[in-house]
Amino acid sequence: MAAELQGQVAAVTGGASGIGLASVEAMLAAGARVVVVDRDAAALAALQAKHGDALVPLAIDLLDPAACAAMVPRILERTGRLDILHANAGLYLGGDLVDAESSAIDRMLNLNVNVVIKNVHDVLPHMIARGCGDIVVTSSLAAHYPTPWEPVYASSKWAIDCFVQTTRRQVFKHGIRVGAISPGPVVTALLADWPARKLEEARASGSLIEPAEVANVVMFMLTRPRGMTIRDVVMLPTNFDL
């Protein structure tokens, strides 16, 4: 994978932890310059100290509409171009719908759906003008299976999966590839919100994925010949269906 992204500029939202961080590190290892978008300024500073000028930190709260709208212009101001957008930032909300707070539902849907759509919308003019680009969205196995313990989260991923597939059909004529990665349970901070029983079952059965394994699939998608689009990869632990 060495130098496969040499000379390219990528941006990863929610890039300071979890799947986003694994994606950032894989892209850096492949030679890309990577803009890491996250609201955790301290984590961003630590990452830049570790990786140097190849990593561009951008502290943004994507749930702030003005800050979200400024993301792509700020990236282009600092890098001059953007070849890859990994729209990864997201929240998790599980449990029974009747127990969910309305504010938590709004927050999760805004980040998982609205922000992704707006980020992709904002980057498209730049990619269309250049006639090339890659957009990868972090979706979920929940986009393909009606998971009974997470109706709000699953709904957000079903919505974003539809968005990815319809947008892909609109923009491929401009040389832009759009695809989604749909992993099963990944070992990230999001699992802290899982029902305790489900988390214990997953750990006991070996039904969890490491973030680096997801990043490897993202890199596979990005490094295919330009005439090939990997539109959606569903990946899950072999033991998940036990």
Complete DSSP assignment for 1-31: -TTTTTT-EEEEETTTSHHHHHHHHHHHHTT
Q: Spell out the SS3 assignment of 191-227.
A: HHHCCHHHHHHHHHHCCCECHHHHHHHHHHHHCCCCC
Tokens 């060495």 — which residue?
Answer: 2
φ, ψ at 60 (rounded to 5°) = -145, 135
Distance CA 49, CA 36 (A): 13
Catalytic member of 26, 35, 108, 153:
153
Residue 153 among the catalytic residues? yes
Distance CA 195, CA 197 (A): 6
Nearest by Cα to 152 from 213, 231, 90: 90
Cα dihedral 144, 127, 30, 92 sign: negative
Residues identified as active-site = 153
